[in-house]
Structure 1
Amino acid sequence: MSDKNQTNNNSVISLTVGILSLLIPFIGLILGIIGIVFSKKALKQINITNESGKGLATVGLICSIVGIILQILIVLGLIAFLSISTFITH
């Protein structure tokens, strides 16, 4: 009874870090990688211990992946903007 009612701590961490990877610029890339690691770890533990939190881990994984993609696009956009602005000024 107590095993099923407990939520896996790693799934909560993966969701929190995944959401932060969407919101914090530049550091979000590192947070996204950490979120993926915690969500994979949480899913393994949930399958073994039968705890709840599988949905949280899945959403954390999705947020982390989207956060990484968003951060990469921001960095590429910044590089493109800076290269165009230096090209125009010269």
Structure 2
Amino acid sequence: MNPARTTSSLAIASLVSGILGWTLLPVLGTLVAIVTGHMARAEIRRSGGALEGDGLAIGGLILGWLSALLWVIGIVVLFMFLGGLAWLATLN
């Protein structure tokens, strides 16, 4: 008889944080989703089949990394816009 498999609490935390990263806690949720997602995947691999929840961890990682990517793109666009405004101001 196989022991009951339990879901990794880090995987659940990663998915919940990933969702929060898109809604209520943009920066903190994104960082926590990425960190706990990687920790959960490592914990699940080390457990030898005793833990499940790899899909939850991957979901949290995807949400976290997509949010981080959009933050970086937003910051780059903001600096490009402000740089363009500064350049236009020097022309007058």
Q: TM-score, normalised by structure 2?
A: 0.73
1:76 corresponds to: 76
Q: Aligned residues, how many?
A: 87
Q: Cα deviation per residue 1:12-55 (whole Å; 9 max; x = unaligned)?
A: 11112223334468x53x54332222011111222316222110
Structure number with larger C-alpha Rg: 2
Instruction: Find 1:38's aligned residue among 36, 46, 52.
Output: 36
Structure having the larger proportion of residues in strand: 2
Question: Post-superposition shift, 1:66?
Answer: 1.1
Unpaired stretches in structure 2, ≥5 consecutive residues: none
Query: Identity across aligned pairs (percent)?
Result: 24
**33-42 or 16-25: which moved more?**
16-25
Unpaired stretches in structure 1, ≥5 consecutive residues: none
Q: TM-score, normalised by structure 1?
A: 0.74
**What is the root-mean-square deviation of aligned Cα atoms in Å?**
2.5
CA distance in 1, matches of 2:40, 2:69: 22
Structure 2 matches for 1:3-42, cutoff 5 A?
3-4=4-5, 6-23=6-23, 27-28=26-27, 30-42=28-40
Q: 1:46 to 1:71 in 2, by over 3 A?
A: same
Letter in 1 for 2:17: V
Structure having the larger proportion of residues in helix: 1
Q: 1:78 to 1:64 in 2, by over 3 A?
A: same
Moved over 4 A (4+): none
